[in-house]
Amino acid sequence: MDDKITKITDWLGAGSINLFGRPFSGKDTQCRELAKIVGGELIAGGDILRSHHDSEQVEKIMATGGIIPSEAYENMVIPYFSRPAFTAKPLILSAVGRSHGEEPIIMKAAEASAHPMKAVIVLQLEEDEVWKRFEAALLEHDRGHRADDHRNVLQTRLHTYQDKTIPAIEFYRHRGLLIEIQGTGSRESVTAEILDALYTRASS
């Protein structure tokens, strides 16, 4: 395993890996684990939006379902990726640029900040499995009080994933960056599959 991780980290360098997945796919968990394994910095889309000098206005736009203009989004992303704290470190992105049309901005920001995009991982989880995990989480009360843990909110998130995120994922597929991982296994087995896939990519 140590040799595998060394191979991955040598290949990755200060590059970026972006992870996508439907709600309850375990994306955030895998992002944290991968960042720990490769010694990278974890970035979520919300971190970037909150960093903007007019973050309150940005939140209002998002709350009403509006779309941040591409130029404004680019002006947020590139400086954030270029933060001195990230210098020479790999970046693990938690579905950053999840709406179709934002992919070129993310690619540009990654390249401009010396964190080139090396891979995009999607954790595949069908909608019926999402709902099963949702119901189980409600029974187990293991996620705390999250605003998105309501059926109507989850349904909206699933529609948004289908309409906006899947086209974004296809953008990366066409550029040979996409790695598809089944998200139905245990947390440990999914992590192992991700590492196997990255090792294969690093060895090619």
Q: What is the pLDDT of residues 39-62, one digit of tens each?
A: 999 998 778 877 765 556 555 555
What is the rounded average pLDDT of the residues 152-165? Answer: 91
Tell me how far CA of residue 165 lies from CA of 24, 54, 99, 102, 181, in angstroms: 15, 25, 5, 10, 16
pTM above the 0.85 mark?
yes
Higher confidence at residue 58 or residue 180?
A: 180
Question: What does the pLDDT read at residue 110?
Answer: 96
pLDDT band at 65 (very low <50, low <70, confident <90, very high): very low
Question: What does the pLDDT read at residue 172?
Answer: 97
Percent of the chain residues past pLDDT 70, beyond the cut: 86
- Apex CA 97: angle with CA 153 and CA 170, to 5°? 95
